[in-house]
Every structure is written in C-alpha cells, then in structure tokens.
Structure 1
C-alpha cells in the first residue's frame, strides 16, 4: 500500500507491548512513528516474533503540541491510564484525526470522547499476546486467525487497510458490541486469574481454575444479554476452549503489571461487568469476588 509521505506520521500514545506491535505495522508501510511521553525516551522500536526480530527508528517527544496535525493516532495506554494521557489526546484532536483505541473492555468511546473533540474514534479489540521485554521492544505471539477487530465504519476500514498492509491480520465486525463482549469473556478470566496466581495462561487448564473461569464467563454472558448483546452459553465454551489452547508461555498484561508493581486494569474489565450487572439487578458472585481481590492489591 502506498501512502502520502507528507502525511506519513503516526502518533503512538502508550509504547507498551500492544502499542509497539501496532505501531510496527505502520512502520512496515513506511510511516514515521512519534512516541509520546513515557518514562524512558525511545529512539527505536523492535518486535521479535519467533526467530525473527525487526527494528525501526522512531521519534520521541515529551511535548503534546508536537503531535498537533497528525491525523493517525494509536492510543494504547491501559484503560485506567486514559485520564493521564488526556493532554496528548486533546493535542491531537481534530475533525480529520482518527484515534485507534487499543484498550481492553467495552467502554472505549466513553473513556476517550471527553478529550477527543470531533476526532473519529475507532475502538479496537486486540488478540495479540505480547510482552514488552524492555523499553521499545516487544515479544509477539499470535493466537487464532486475526490480530485486531474493528467496527465496520469508514474510518476503521481505512485503518484496517493500512494495518493489514503492515502485517496485522484484521477483521471488520458488523456487530462490534458482541465482539467486544466475547473478548471481555477472555480478559475477565485470563487477566485476573494469572495476576492473582502469578502464573502464566497455563493455569487456566487446571480443573479448579477452569471451573472458576467458566463461572466468571457465564455470569458475564448473562449480563451481556441484559445489555442487549447477543451472547449464548455456547459462546462461553468457545471462548474458554480458545483460552485453554493459547500458545505455551502466554501471559497477560495484568500479570505483567502485578509483577512490576504497577496499578492493575481491573475496573475496565471486571468493574465494567459489575457496574452493568448492578444496572440490571443481576447477582454475579464470582465476578464480585474477583473484583474485591483485585481491588485489595496495592502497587509496590
């Protein structure tokens, strides 16, 4: 795919594992990436997948005004960090700006829209399993048959074309809320259970943990139905089976954050389901227990 070099710049807000992986797709089609903020200035990003490693130069800035006028923005901070990234989102915002929101959960637009003005918001469901091994470097594993799902809108279709040309396996969804809830079923189980146990995704295969994961998902499925999203009990079994067959060594961002002593992204996941359950008067004891346990963890 050929892009106009005069507009060939992408702003990356959140240079974690997911952000680095998505940004690398843009570098493969000739885009220049500007990395926004962060504790460590990054001059190159690199991605290792299997035996292959690739690296690309990037520009780092600590000045939000430096990204004004950039029309493509990747927002890949954790959901609970959105407010801390508000100055960057606002600086980039314009009617011609498209913001890819690569965050977990089901409330992408609600979190970002207070800061994004008339920008086009494209929520993304991410299926990549990635670890940031050091600043600027990501270890990428792929599972399933696609890497990102986007809603089938004009702005999303443009991004899907670009990312696909850069090596991302893209899918456009007619029923994006259902897709978001299906991914949430996985995140509600894999993220908390790996973070609470300190173990990688293989822990889900242990019989007792498998049953707990199934209960967490079944409760969420009932809440989704109440929210008007079509999920069936069979969807729970499909997603649980997928989770139990992820590549060996797979981890979760929540486990990584706990091991690093960072705040955990539980409010956008379990918290969102508990809030929705309260709106409909649905009792979800397993999710409430998980929420209480996660809320009790204190960053180092």
Structure 2
C-alpha cells in the first residue's frame, strides 16, 4: 500500500480498542518498529490517524509504550492505557505526549498493573520487596500532563500526592475522579491541607478503593462543601469506629449528594453497630441510594427507623437489610 492510499485509510479510523483482542494490546507479538515504520509512511507533520477519537490498550513492555506515542493525535477525546510493571521506562515520554498533543482530551484512564507476588513472599508473609512495585515508584508526577479539558479522570492511587490533588482540583470541567489500586499508609495518611473553596467546581463523582477510613475522611475533608458532589463510592480496607466521622464528613455535601456506597474489602472483623452513626445522613435531602456492605449489625426495627429518617425516595441496603 502506497503512502496516499494508507493516508486515506487512516483518515477513516475513529476508534482503536485493543481490549477486543485476547492480548488487549495493539502491538503484542508484533515487531516493535511497526509504529515507527507506519509513521514514516505518512506525510511529515501529519498524525498517523488524524481523526482518531478513542484509544484503549495495554502496554506490557517498553516497545508497546513507544508504539502508543505516534497515536497520540490532537483529535483524541478518550485515552485508556494499562501500564504493566515491565513497561515503565518511557512513562515520561508518554506523559509528555499527552501534555503536548492532547489538549482536547475529555476522558483519561491511566492504570498500573504490578507484578504478581512471588511464591516465596506469599509463603513467608514477607512483603518488603512488593513495595518496590507500587505505582508511585514508577509513575512520574502526572499533574502537568493533565489537559484542562478533562471531564473524567482515573489514575493510580499512588499518584495522589498533595501537589497532584491540588492540580486535579483546578481542572475546570472535571466531573468524575477515580483512584485505582491500594492506598499506602505512609503516603496518604499525612495531613492534607484544605483546598481552595473554588476547587473541583464540577466534580460530581468520586471513587476511592482500598483505603482506610482515615484516608477517606482526609480526602473528603479537603474538598469544599460547595463542590456539587453527587456520588461517592468507597471501598474500605478496614471497618472501625471511625465510621461515624465518615458519615458526618459525607453529610457536608447534603445539598447535592445522591448516592453513597461504602463497602469493606478487608478480612471480616466483628460486626459493628451503625444506626446511630448513620443519623448524620438524615440531612441529605437528595439522597437516592445508600449502600453499606460489610459486617454491619442492625435489627429490622432499627433499620426501618433509619429508613424513616432518610428521604422517602432513598433505596437503602445495609448488610443483610434492604428497603
């Protein structure tokens, strides 16, 4: 195929989704020089796929990351990349490509796939070496690479430094923020300064997995109660008496919150009572869904009493009880 024909074909491509293939990678099993060779066939200064709108792929090695770089065309509106632990040497180049070329990007998902735990570590319970595989070791600071056009953002929890959170909070159009992966205690349980009152002006959805109650409270506390937060989804690594403070913190968004989901991912602790703790949510007049999954102890009478204090349109599921 000559250069002219290739250019015409490339202009018809709008979406590239490697997850439709078994490998989930655009370049798995191919010559790593293919992206460069294809780019050489195009006209100088012309994007490989000038009308590409979405790109979704995994990168298992450095060659695959390099293969993505020619695909970062200004037309992209959605970019989703899973970076494996063996493909982190060119993260700076990837983030520079996002910052330089994707000024109109609306949806960005960057996730990290760590190496599987070794059998020896699992058998001995020694996890000292696993710390080296965490995403914040390999991911450089991503704040400068984030386009102001973003509406949804998903990044590894390890990237949630104070500086990054400050930069994310100033994205004017951001509606959904997701943190993926485990939160490390010594990185995320420090004192976070309160953000500006104008931070997260459009944020309505927050997803925080695998964190402690203290981390969840800290993150929610620095967000201004003027933020139009409508949906919060938290997966806790522990259940503790700190739940009462968590509900009170969530109740700060009583004028906008519509859905609250808090689940427990850790080992099963002893059942805890939650009725009195949940009373703070009675002020959330727009609440439509309340989900609390975990070892919750609540009688049918107490459950009905709680439901009666919540908005009549609210669907409630707490432990084994549901309305």
| TM-score, with structure 2 as normaliser | 0.27
Larger Rg: 2
Structure with bigger RCO (C-alpha 8 Å, 6+ apart): 1
| TM-score, with structure 1 as normaliser | 0.29
